[in-house]
Amino acid sequence: MTALGYYGEFGGRFVAETLVPALAQLERAVHEIVLREPFQREWRDLLSSYVGRPTPLWRAERLSRAVDPSGDLLGELWLKREDLCHTGAHKINNALGQVLLAKKLGKTRVIAETGAGQHGVATATAAAMMGLPCAVYMGAVDVARQAPNVARMRLLGARVLPVESGSRTLKDAMNEALRDWVTHVADTHYCVGSAAGPHPYPMLVAELQRVIGDEARAEWAEGPGGLPDTVVACVGGGSNAIGMFRAFISDPVELYGVEAAGEGLDTERHAATLTRGRVGVLHGARTLVLSDDDGQILEAHSVSAGLDYPGVGPEHAALLRSGRAKYLAVTDAEAVAALHLVARTEGILVALETAHAFAGLPAIARAEHARLGRPARVALCLSGRGDKDLATVAEHTP
Ligand SMILES: *Cc1c(COP(=O)(O)O)cnc(C)c1O
C-alpha cells in the first residue's frame, strides 16, 4: 500500500471535503497510537480478558471426511474459531480497537453501520463497556430479518436507526452513517465494520483483524506443524478474510476468499463483487462494485445479511488483480446446505456468512489437489456463530 492508501489501482479517499481532516487525523492516529506499544498492550489485554482470545484452532475430522469421503483431496481441515469470541464473531476485535481509539482521540460519541447486526452488536458492546453513547444505522430490511441482534443492541444501550432509503440494507446504512459523520465529525468516531471505506479504514481494520491470522499461524506451527497449504475465508467487505490472509501473504500458502452468489451468478440476485464486479467508487474507495452500464450501484442479494453488499474492500480487489488470492462464489442454497453439514458433523452452528467458506471447500480441495499433487492441509476462518440466523435458515431449508 502506498501513503495515499492505494492497493494497486484500488483504494483511496473519495469523500466530502468536510471528512478529509477527520480521515487525515485518523490516519495519523493509526501510526502514532494504534501501531504503538501502549495501545497494543491495552487492546491485547482486552482481547484476552474480555473477548476470550486466543481463540482455538479445531481439527474438523468428521467434516473433512464428509466433504471428501476418500480423503484423496482434502488432507486436514482446521477451523479458526472466531465464533467463540465474545459477541459471537470476529467483529469485536475491530470494534474494541476502534472504540478504544475513539476514547484516546477524545471523541464522545460512536456511530456504526451494520448488516447482519454483528458489527452493530460488537460496537454497542465496546461502547457500553467503555462508557460512550452509540448509534447504529441499519437497513430496514435487515432490522426485520435480524431481530435478535436489534434487541441485543438496544439492551446494550445503543440507538438503532432503521434506514429506509435504497435497498434498505447494508449499503444504505453505510451511506447514512457517512452522512451522520459529516455533520458530527468533531465529536463523533465512525466505527466502520469491515476492511472497506475510505483510507485509512481498510488499513486500520486489517491491522485490528490481523490478530486472527497471526494466532492461526502460531497455532498451526504448534499443532499440525509448519504451515497450511491453503487458507480459506468468506468475503463480505473482507475483514475476516484479510485478517486471516495477512499472516500468510508472504508464505507459499494459497489464499481463497468465498463470496455470495446468492440465487446464482446468471441471475441479478447475487453479491459476487470480486467475481462479477466492475471498477467503481463506493463509500469513499475505488474498488470492484456491482454496477449497471451507467455506473449506478446495483442492489446486492445474499441470504446472509453480512455478505449482502455491492462492494468489497480495496485490498481484496488488488489481491484478485495480482493473482495473489483467488475468489469463488457459492449460492444461497449451497451455503445453507453447508451450514447443516457443519452442524451435524462438528456440532457447530456457524453463521450464514461463514457457511459460504465451508460451501467453497469441495471446489477448493479439488483445485488444491491439482496444484499440489496431494491432499491439501486447509485452515478455514470460522468467522462467527449462527444463532442470529436460526429464522432465516428455517425459512430456506426445504
Ligand atoms: C460480518 C460478518 C462477515 C462478513 O464481513 P467481513 O468483513 O467480510 O469479514 C463474515 N462472517 C461473520 C460471522 C460476520 O458477522
- Please tell me whether residues 245 and 363 are part of one structural domain: yes
Q: Is 219 in the same domain as 159?
A: no
Q: Which residues form ligand 1's pocket by a CB distance below 6 Å?
A: 89, 91, 116, 118-119, 194, 234-241, 306-307, 351, 353-354, 383-384
Domain containing 178 equals 7-48+91-205
- Distance CA(360)–CA(261), nearest Å, equals 11
Largest separation between any pair of C-alpha atoms in the chain: 60
Q: What is the pTM of this model?
A: 0.97
Q: Which of 158, 178, 205 is the last residue of a domain?
A: 205
User: For atom 13 of ligand 1, which residue has the closest CA?
Assistant: 384
**Is residue 100 within 8 Å of residue 127, measured between CB atoms?**
no
Same domain, 251 and 386: yes
Q: Which of 176, 205, 234 is the last residue of a domain?
A: 205
How close are the terminal C-alpha atoms of the chain, in Å?
Answer: 46
174 and 266 together in one domain:
no
Q: Are residues 176 and 278 in the same domain?
A: no
User: Does residue 310 belong to any structural domain of this protein?
Assistant: yes
Whether 293 and 219 share a structural domain: yes
Q: How much of the chain is helix, strand and coil, in % rounded to 5? A: 50, 20, 30
70 CA to middle of ligand 1, Å? 32
The total of other beta-carbon atoms located within 10 Å of residue 10's CB is 24
- Between the alpha carbon of residue 325 and those of residues 6, 135, 176, 217, 241, the distances in Å are 17, 35, 32, 17, 10
Extract long-range pairs of 367-376: CB within 8 Å, 24+ residues apart.
367/326, 368/73, 368/229, 368/230, 368/254, 369/72, 369/73, 371/254, 372/229, 374/75, 375/68, 375/71, 375/72, 375/73, 375/74, 375/75, 375/76, 376/73, 376/74, 376/75, 376/229, 376/230
For residues 270-288, b (16+ Cβ closer than 10 Å) or e, as one string? bbbbbbebeebbbbbbbbb
CATH number at residue 258: 3.40.50.1100
Domain count across the chain: 2
Residue 328 and residue 293 share a domain: yes
Show pLDDT as tens, one digit a residue, over the chain (398 residues). Answer: 555 799 999 999 999 999 999 999 999 999 999 999 999 999 999 999 999 999 999 999 999 999 999 999 999 999 999 999 999 999 999 999 999 999 999 999 999 999 989 999 999 999 999 999 999 999 999 999 888 999 999 999 999 999 999 989 899 999 999 999 999 999 999 999 999 999 999 999 999 999 999 999 999 999 999 999 999 999 999 999 999 999 999 999 999 999 999 999 999 999 999 999 999 999 999 999 999 999 899 999 999 988 989 999 999 999 999 999 999 999 999 999 999 999 999 999 999 999 999 999 999 999 999 999 999 999 999 999 999 899 899 999 87
Judge if 219 and 356 occupy the same domain.
yes
> Do 232 and 142 belong to one domain?
no
Give the mutation target among 82, 149, 194 for probing the ligand 1 site: most ligand atoms within 8 A of CB.
194
Report the distance separating Cα 26 and Cα 200, nearest Å.
7
Domain limit, last residue, from 174, 205, 236? 205
Question: What distance in angstroms lies between residue 91's CA and the mean position of ligand 1's atoms?
Answer: 7
Q: Is-contact 198 311, C-beta < 8 A?
A: no
**Pair (174, 237) in one structural domain:** no
Q: Are residues 262 and 145 part of one domain?
A: no
Domain annotation covers residue 165: yes
Q: Which residue's alpha carbon is at the smallest distance from atom 15 of ligand 1?
A: 118
Residue 242 resides in a domain: yes
pLDDT value at residue 6: 97
For strands 74-81 and 57-59, give the pairing: antiparallel
Q: What is the Å distance from ligand 1's center to 20 Cα?
A: 27
| Choice from 84, 90, 123 to test ligand 1 binding pocket (greatest atom count within 8 A of CB) | 90
